[in-house]
Every structure is written in C-alpha cells, then in structure tokens.
Chain A
Amino acid sequence: MDGSDPSTEVKRGAEAMWEALVAEGVEVVFGYPGGCIMPAYDVMPRYPVRHILCRHEQGAAHMADGYARVSGKVGVAIATSGPGATNLVTGIATAMLDSIPVVFITGQVPSKFIGTDAFQETDITGVTIPITKHNYLVTRAEEVYPILREAFELARSGRPGPVVVDITKDALQNVCAPVAPKPATSSKRPSRAKRGLAPSKPISEHDLDRAAALIASAQRPVILAGHGIVRSGSTELVTQLVEKCDIPVGLTLLGLGGFPATHPHALGMMGMHGEAWVNQAIQEADLLIALGMRFDDRVTGNLATYAKNAKKIHVEIDPAEVDKNVRVDVALIGDLKEVLERLLPRVADKKHAAWNAALGAKRAEVAPIDIVNTPHDGRLFAAHVMHDLYRLTEGKAVVVTDVGQHQMWEAQYYKHDHPRGLVTSGGLGTMGFALPAGIGAAFAAKEKEVWIIAGDGGFQMTAAELSTCVQDGIKVNVAIINNGYLGMVRQWQELFYGGRYVATPIVSPDFVKLADAHGLPGMRVTKREEIPAAVAAARATDKTFVVEFRVEAEDAVYPMVPAGADLHDMIRRPSKNNGGAK
C-alpha cells in the first residue's frame, strides 16, 4: 500500500480499488451493497476506511457531497449496478450543478453480459454523461487503480465536479497481472487529468491592467461573491480587495460565508430572494466584479435589464461560463486565488464614501420589517427559528439546509461569517438533500455542531436516513420547519396561480414520534420562547436530535423577484402590522 508501486503487485481488482482510495487519503465512504459490487465489500474490512450504510443510494450520494463541501476533499459514494446506480442520479446531478468533487463508484454486471439486459444491468455511464465531469467503464482489473486515481484528480482539479467509475464485477474479482509502470505520457498533450477545461491562456498583464483600470475609474462598484471564493479559499484576498477599494459585496446563495456576513461591506444575498438594496445596488452599479460566480438566472433576473450601465469583470475558472449569460468587458479565466494575488498589487487604495453612504441609506429605508425583533403575538415564524439558532450557536454551526422557503429564510437570517459553514443545494435545488448531506458534513466538521434545517416536505423525502444516524452513531441536530405545506410551491401558487393550493398541503407523521421510533430523542416547539430549551436539549445529547418547529403555515419569503422579472422589480415584504406574514 505504502511506497511500493501497487501496479506491480498481484492482487484483485477489488483490492486495487481500496488501495486507490487509501492512497487518496479517503477516510470515509458512503454506500449500499449489492450483487455486482460485492467483491469490493468483501475485502473492505481489510482497509482503514469507514463505511456508512445509507438507507437509499440517493442518501449516500448526498452524504458524500456534504462531506466534500465541508471538508474541501473529494467525497466517495459506492453503489451496486442497476437500481443502486440509478438511485445515485439525483445526487450526482446535485454535485454537478454545484461543482462538488465526488467520486461515485458503481458495480457493473460482468463484462461478458454487458449489452444483454442482464439482471441489474444499466448503462450508467450512458445515463450520467450529462451530469458528470467525466465517467468511466472499467472492465479490466488492471485498470481499476490507475482509473480511480485519475478520477480523483479530475474530480478536484479545475472546476471540480462528480466523476463516475463503473466497474464490472469481473474487473473487481479478477487478479491484476503485474503491469509495468506506465511510460510518461507524451508532453505534446495535457495529461487526461489536467483536462476538462479549455487550456486557458495565462492571464495577460494587459487584462489585469484593464481590470485594475476599470476598478480605478468606477464610481459605483459592486463585488459579486460566489461559490468560487469558498472553493478556492480566497476569503482573505477578497476581504483585502474589498477593504483596499471600499467596495460593497453582494453574495450568491452558495457564496454565503465566502465573505463574512457581518463585515461592514457585506450587503447580503443577491437575487430572487436577496435583499432589495443588494439588487438595487447591482442595478445601479457602474462596475460589477464577479468573483467565482456564474450569473445564474436566479441571481440575474431578466438578462435584458440586468446591470445595464455596469462594466463587468468576470473572474472564473471555467471558460465555458464566461459570456454564457452575461457579456463581460474583462474576463480573467483562472483560479480566483491566483488572479486576486496578481490583481491586488495593481489596484490603488480608494474610497467610495458617497456610494456606500447611498447604499446604507437605502438599506435603512427599506430595511425589512424586522420580524425577529418585533414583539411576537404568540405565533412562531421560521425567521424566529433561524435568527435564534444563529444567536444560540453564535453563528458557528455548520448549517445544512434542504430546499424551499426555509432555505431562503436561513440564507436571510443566519449570518454566515465563515466559509464552508453553509451546505445547501443551490444549482439543482434538490429536496431531500439536507439530512443525508448533513450526515456527510458531520464527518468533515468534527469540531463543529451540525444543524440540519429541512421543510416538512423535503425531510420526508430522505427521512429514512435517521436510521443511518442510529446505526453509525452519527450526531446531527435536525430542525424541521413544519408549515403543513410544500411551502415554496404554495407561495408561488399564492402569488402567481390565484391562490389555488393544488397538491401543496402535505400531511406529515408526528416527527417527534418518528424520531422516537428510531430510538432518537426529539422535541416539538410551537412558541418562540421554547426555542432555547430545545436547542439546549439537542446540544446536550450525543445522539441525533430532532426538533419539530410548528411555524406559521402561510408565511411567505420576501422580498422576491418573480422568475424572469427585472432584478429591481421586487415584491417587497408586506407592511408591518401583520408581522411579515400574509
């Protein structure tokens, strides 16, 4: 395993598989066994890798994803062929859209059966072409080790993403003949693992100078902080740029935590459910500096009216994202950290007192009806929960959200000051993500407490993973925001479909009893003053703890830019007298 060249030893493909994982420093894998992957499971106990048995392969996929997001390493999920592999699909697509490095290993029917519709055969490489960075079908034991190593490198290099390695049962069972070490690849072409992105030209001095000149001449600049800041570890450098040039910062959902929320220059989240002043700042800006973000339609609104008077600088690792949605004036294609290191010395200290003051005034004027500070009238709002959780955990928890209204409330009311403190499915918006992703996050965030926040709808999609917590002794805190509806869809029905609530009222089990059925402790909270006790009880146990928050049923997330509307054309929070609820 260590030192010796594994490719020259006689061993089985299944052993080569684990050796590759160990060589990559993998400490935990998430998976589910089955016929075609059994040879790999059979030898697993010989290797120092922990295996977490999920209850559904989608769970394993999200666990590996959550682990990757918090640890910054490559996550690993394992499934058998056919139904095991197809159950991974939602998790693979989730990782793809958020650029999360995960290696998915799937079993495949023996190579001689491929193409015969054999029992539990699916063409999983075919199925996953559009939702992976790359995928492999491995049919020979000798290929297992080198292909897995390449898969890891691909997953984490450039713009990270998921890679599927589908290994036939015979490749796992057969003995690898000792092979001579591969000759070095010809220098004419980049190594396969280096590919997956256009060979970007080194960023020219000229382009850096142009960017610096735009920054120097801007009167109303705004930085758009995206996920790339988190992934490249550039928080520090971005903060330097912000402070040197006195530039306000709007954040994308996945950028939250990439720049500290409590920093005086932080405007908050932009986009569909961003704060009005952030979106207005963007619309009035004369320069947008987009850092590691991709102008998703949820942050731009109508492209035709988006930041019309702004010059745009786009720093992005993936050349295919540049000019995709928004045309930019200067594109700096490369690793954000490197770009910032070279850009910073070129920009002069600057003050934007008037601009920042104007934004501050706007912020004061349209400040949200601050539901968290209004005297409560006995009703419990989700915003209360988010704000109090933020306060009680001192902003230090790793929060893993599901998808829906609660996800947006979390983004609005939990202030993230640290990178990798928020785990959420941004690109795909995958319901059912939170519980399994939180289990994965718990393995990465060893020193931190993990809070999972899910809606009553989404939680039910993967609630079976509570059993995983029990079997593997995993400690997470689960907050279920129960409003009796598929809330976000109900909100759209309320606003855009004449209030016809079709298929959005949803019945739930008694979540506290559900926890109890798993042998897990739980509590129900219906009043704001009960929140601290529930949080304390959750923290006091080393078991997974479920808190059900019964919140206002028909509360809506505001402000809101309707899909496809102009970014500045927001539906504001309703007036004060109904406390923010409808």
Chain B
Amino acid sequence: MSDRVSLRTFVVLVEDVPGVLNRVASLFRRRNFNIESLSVGKSHEPGISRMTIVVRGDDRMGRLVEANLYKVVDVVRVDDITHRPNVSRDIALVRVRATPADRAAILQVCSVFRARVVDVALDSMMIECTGTEDKIRGLVTLLEPFGVLEMVQAGSIAMTRGASAQSASAQSDAVEIDSGDDDDVDLTDEAA
C-alpha cells in the first residue's frame, strides 16, 4: 500500500433507481473527492446499473471512497480494481478539418490507431476511437495539425480480466489475451 497519488478505478454496481447518479455524484462533491471520470450504464443484471468511477488519490483515499460509496443505500457493490488486471476503455469522437488533400494522411493516422472514420463531409471527417485515455490523447495529438474542430470523449468503462469479474478473489489465472486487442499495445510512442 502506498501513499502515492494515482488514478484509481472503481467499479460500482447500483440499483437502477431514479436519482442514483445524483446521490453518487453528490457524495463525491460533499467529500471533496475529485472525479476524473464517471460513466454509468447498464450491467448484465436487470435492475442493476454499473458505474465506472476514476478518481485521483492515494490508497487511504481509495479506502475512504469505497467506504463512503457503501453508505449510499442504492449502492450494491464496490470494487476497487486499481491494482487488479483490468481492461479500461474510453471512447471518443473527433471532428477534424479534412481538405481533400489531407484526407489520405488522416486516414493513415486513423489506421495506425485503428480508429474508424464514421462520417465524411466536404471539408471535415468524424473519427471514432476506442481505447485507453493515452491512446486517444495520442490520436488527437496527431490530428491537431489538421485542425480539430470538435471532440467528445466519454468516461472510462472498465472490467477486470479473468473469469469472474465481480469477485475479488477471482484474480483468476486466465491467460491475458492481447491478440486482436490492439488497444493494449501502446501506440502512442511509435505513432507520435
């Protein structure tokens, strides 16, 4: 356990009831925990939503975040997966200025990052990119010279690797498969 401040990722299962996001967000504000990212959506269980919350803090803060989250009655389960093998993904849409002359170069950048072009207009393109924060930042850095017109990024979603994602004891021996999972290959350096 360290006092080092780092990003910490929590997977939080909550009852799918009105106001639950408000309660969780209110807790973070009241306790002065700084949210880096929060995303919420469906889980595999009916009636249960799943939040992925990323905060910046040390281990003590991590424990306090977890203990405080449990005080929200609608919270069913909290897992701090920071120190467990996990896959974490962000998604971003980027609209970039694209003159006919630049298109080929942009497409090439996209292919290095395995980003997809999802819309093309006369003088711009919209690109979808999924991956780690780093990867998205890398892509955007390379697109900037063309002129980024608009960008949106959603909060991280995360899941532990292995058979039973929900069980803390299930730090399974499952082989970490990276084949085809391009996003775990850090492309930022080679691309930048």
Measured CB to CB, the residues of A under 8 A from B are 125-126, 129-130, 133-134, 137, 154, 189, 192, 195-199, 318-320, 322-324, 327
List B25-73 residues whose CB lies under 8 Å from chain A: 26-27, 30, 60, 63-64, 66-68, 70-71, 73
B30 and A320 contact, CB distance less than 8 A = no
Q: Which residues of B contact A319 (CB under 8 A)?
A: 67, 70
20 CB contacts below 8 A, A to B, read A129-B23, A129-B26, A133-B71, A134-B73, A137-B19, A189-B76, A189-B77, A195-B70, A195-B75, A196-B73, A198-B70, A198-B71, A318-B67, A318-B71, A319-B67, A320-B67, A320-B70, A320-B71, A322-B67, A323-B63
B64 and A125 contact, CB distance less than 8 A = no
- CB nearest to B30 among chain A residues: A130
Chain B interface, >50% SS class = helix
B64 and A320 contact, CB distance less than 8 A = yes
A125 and B19 contact, CB distance less than 8 A = yes
Q: Does B2 make an interface contact (CB < 8 A)?
A: no
Q: Which residues of B contact A125 (CB under 8 A)?
A: 19
In the bound complex, CA of A456 to CA of B77 (Å): 49
Measured CB to CB, the residues of B under 8 A from A are 18-19, 22-23, 26-27, 30, 60, 63-64, 66-68, 70-71, 73, 75-78
Q: Which residues of A contact B70 (CB under 8 A)?
A: 195-199, 319-320
18 more A-B residue pairs beyond the given contacts A130-B27, A137-B18, with a C-beta to C-beta distance below 8 A: A125-B19, A126-B19, A129-B22, A130-B30, A195-B73, A195-B75, A196-B73, A197-B71, A198-B70, A198-B78, A199-B70, A318-B67, A320-B71, A322-B67, A323-B60, A323-B63, A323-B64, A324-B64
Q: Which residues of B contact A318 (CB under 8 A)?
A: 67, 71
Q: Which residues of A contact B27 (CB under 8 A)?
A: 130
Q: Which residues of B contact A199 (CB under 8 A)?
A: 70
Q: Which residues of A contact B78 (CB under 8 A)?
A: 198
* Residue among B19, B68, B71 with most chain A CB within 10 A: B71
- Give, as a whole number of angstroms, the nearest-CB distance from A440 to chain B: 26
Q: Which residues of A contact B19 (CB under 8 A)?
A: 125-126, 129, 137
Residue A327 contacts which of B23, B60, B73 (CB distance < 8 angstroms)?
A: B60
- CB nearest to A198 among chain B residues: B70
In the bound complex, CA of A133 to CA of B74 (Å): 11
Q: Which residues of B contact A327 (CB under 8 A)?
A: 60
Q: Which residues of B contact A322 (CB under 8 A)?
A: 67
B22 and A126 contact, CB distance less than 8 A = yes
In the bound complex, CA of A189 to CA of B30 (Å): 27
- Give, as a whole number of angstroms, the nearest-CB distance from B98 to chain A: 43
Q: Which residues of A contact B76 (CB under 8 A)?
A: 189
Q: Which residues of A contact B77 (CB under 8 A)?
A: 189
Q: Which residues of B contact A196 (CB under 8 A)?
A: 70-71, 73
- 8 closest cross-chain pairs (CB), A and B: A198-B70, A320-B67, A319-B67, A134-B73, A129-B26, A130-B30, A320-B68, A198-B67
A198 and B73 contact, CB distance less than 8 A = no
In the bound complex, CA of A11 to CA of B79 (Å): 43
Q: Which residues of B contact A197 (CB under 8 A)?
A: 70-71
B73 and A154 contact, CB distance less than 8 A = yes
In the bound complex, CA of A133 to CA of B77 (Å): 17
- CB nearest to A163 among chain B residues: B73
In the bound complex, CA of A318 to CA of B68 (Å): 9
- Give, as a whole number of angstroms, the nearest-CB distance from A115 to chain B: 11
- Give, as a whole number of angstroms, the nearest-CB distance from A529 to chain B: 51
Q: Which residues of B contact A129 (CB under 8 A)?
A: 19, 22-23, 26
Q: Which residues of A contact B66 (CB under 8 A)?
A: 198
- CB nearest to A323 among chain B residues: B60
B22 and A133 contact, CB distance less than 8 A = no
- CB nearest to B13 among chain A residues: A189
Q: Which residues of B contact A192 (CB under 8 A)?
A: 73
In the bound complex, CA of A394 to CA of B136 (Å): 73
Q: Which residues of B contact A137 (CB under 8 A)?
A: 18-19
- Give, as a whole number of angstroms, the nearest-CB distance from A110 to chain B: 17
In the bound complex, CA of A319 to CA of B68 (Å): 8
- CB nearest to A130 among chain B residues: B30
* Residue among B68, B73, B77 with most chain A CB within 10 A: B73
Q: Which residues of B contact A323 (CB under 8 A)?
A: 60, 63-64
Q: Which residues of B contact A198 (CB under 8 A)?
A: 66-67, 70-71, 78
- Give, as a whole number of angstroms, the nearest-CB distance from A241 to chain B: 26
In the bound complex, CA of A189 to CA of B18 (Å): 20
- CB nearest to B15 among chain A residues: A192
- Give, as a whole number of angstroms, the nearest-CB distance from B16 to chain A: 13
- Give, as a whole number of angstroms, the nearest-CB distance from A523 to chain B: 46
- CB nearest to B76 among chain A residues: A189
- CB nearest to B68 among chain A residues: A320
